[in-house]
Amino acid sequence: MTQQSTGKGPLTGLTVIEFAGIGPGPFAAMLFADMGATVIRIERKSAVRRPLSLLSLGPFDVTSRGKLSVGLDIKRPEGRNAALRLIEQADALIEGFRPGVMERLGLGPDVCLARNSKLVYGRMTGWGQDGPLAHAAGHDITYIALSGALHAIGAPEQPLPPLNLVGDFGGGAMMLAWGMMAALWEAQRSGQGQVVDAAMTDGAAYLMTMIYGVKAAGLWSNQRGANLLDGGAFFYGAYECSDGKFIAIGPIEPQFYHLFLEKMGIDDPDFAIHYDPTTWRRQREKLAPIFRTRTRDEWCALLEGTDACAAPVLDMDEAPQHPHNVARGVFTIVDDVVQPTPAPHLSRTPAVMPAPPPEPGADTEKVLSLWGFDAVEIEALREAGAIE
């Protein structure tokens, strides 16, 4: 069952040009599209059909949902000029190439802002537009390594990458979108656009702000697995149940902890104090076998929905079916693809429900026509090899 876009989101009327890439750039553009902006994704003229992989998801590329796709050869003068005509009419632009690539293509900030002085030009990189590492290759894991975030996550003996959520999407895409929205707000008053230089390593460090503050207060150790929120505390972690599934607990505050003990039927005096790190290992060793006496669902029937702060550790098949997620509409199905719905929820101008991702280049002629190209100009672009 396909759920098509309905209603208008709060960013209706905003136009964003996205230069196709992978990871955080497309996700940031998706955030704009989900909130109602018109996002025009400029693809290579002939997007190569590769086998399904993390780099080529085809109809499963849900970060392209709700966008328009234009196939342009921007290495040709005709394609570059067509892109500039679209940019002239846009509010914002997103690109995720290495520093200097857009300049070499003739589509750098100076050129684009000269054409459109109110343009917000969003740049998504790993290391940023300058600095000693600016031109080096990298991935999420290397960007968060430099920020201090990777060192703080994982088992005591080894850091563990938390998927690519901290660098690509949290420190990258979310910070890019936030910076662009700030610049768009300012442009409404000043009439002037600007460049937003979003680096994943900068953003990952930014996400660590509270942890750096806690460490400065002497309440956080550089040793992994020894702190309140990194799995060190026995009352903040996941425990295996009798069926091999896991339950997560986090009763940090005293009143929640006391309720947790009550619900668990624990009256061992060894659990009376829970803020002493020197006792955490012993308390974990005592708590673990208790959780192994029942299944995950049995523990959830006892603990979930109470102030004991517990929840089942759901896999990606289970999460969309959980009653709370169903009630909140956290997931939807678009062309048989299960995917998260836009967040957060707005009361008056809710986000647009996702539409399927377009085929690469599917909207080329429609977009060019709507943005002022006549039939003769479109045919000239085709003859020049700038479009299919």
**pLDDT value, residue 6:** 41
User: Within its chain, how far is the Cα of 131 from the centroid?
Assistant: 25
pLDDT surpasses 50 at 84? yes
Instruction: Give the CA-trace dihedral at 196, 202, 203, 208, to 10 degrees.
Output: -150
185 falls in which pLDDT band (50, 70, 90)? very high
8 falls in which pLDDT band (50, 70, 90)? confident
**pLDDT value, residue 54:** 62
Mind telling me the catalytic residues?
A: 139, 168
* Phi then psi dihedrals of residue 308, to 5 deg: -75, -10
Give the position of tokens 């740049």: 123
Q: Do 358 and 67 form a contact (C-beta atoms < 8 A)?
A: yes
For residue 388 the two structure tokens come to: 């299919």
pLDDT digits (tens, 9 = 90+) for 324-361: 999 999 999 999 999 999 999 999 999 998 899 999 99
- The neighbouring-strand residues paired with 334 are 337
Give me the chain's average pLDDT, please: 94
Residues 81-117: b if buried by 16+ CB within 10 A, e if exposed: ebbbebbeebbbbbbbbebeebeebebbbeebbeebe
For residue 247 the two structure tokens come to: 């339950």
Q: Write down the pTM of the prediction.
A: 0.94
Instruction: Using the Cα atoms of residue 260, residue 262, residue 267 and residue 269 in order, give the sign of their dihedral.
Output: positive
pLDDT digits (tens, 9 = 90+) for 204-245: 999 999 999 999 999 999 999 999 999 999 999 999 999 999
Q: Do 66 and 34 form a contact (C-beta atoms < 8 A)?
A: yes
pLDDT surpasses 80 at 57? no
DSSP 170: I
Closest CA to 14 of 196, 191, 185: 185
Please enumerate in sequence order all residues whose Cβ is within 8 A of that of 100, keeping only pairs 6 or more positions apart, or say none: 135
**Alpha-carbon gap, residue 80 to 61, rounded angstroms:** 26
Mean of pLDDT values over 182-198:
98
* Helix H or strand E encompassing 197: strand 194-199
Q: Which amino acid is at 215?
A: K
**pLDDT value, residue 1:** 27
Q: Do 320 and 330 form a contact (C-beta atoms < 8 A)?
A: yes
Rg (CA), the chain: 25
For residue 125 the two structure tokens come to: 């990189």
Residues 1-20: b if buried by 16+ CB within 10 A, e if exposed: eeeebeeebebeebbbbbbb
H-assigned helices in the chain: 24-34, 77-88, 101-104, 109-115, 140-147, 175-190, 200-207, 209-216, 254-264, 280-291, 296-303, 323-328, 364-370, 375-383
**pLDDT value, residue 3:** 36
**Alpha-carbon gap, residue 113 to 130, rounded angstroms:** 20
For residue 310 the two structure tokens come to: 């517990």
Mean of pLDDT values over 142-166:
96
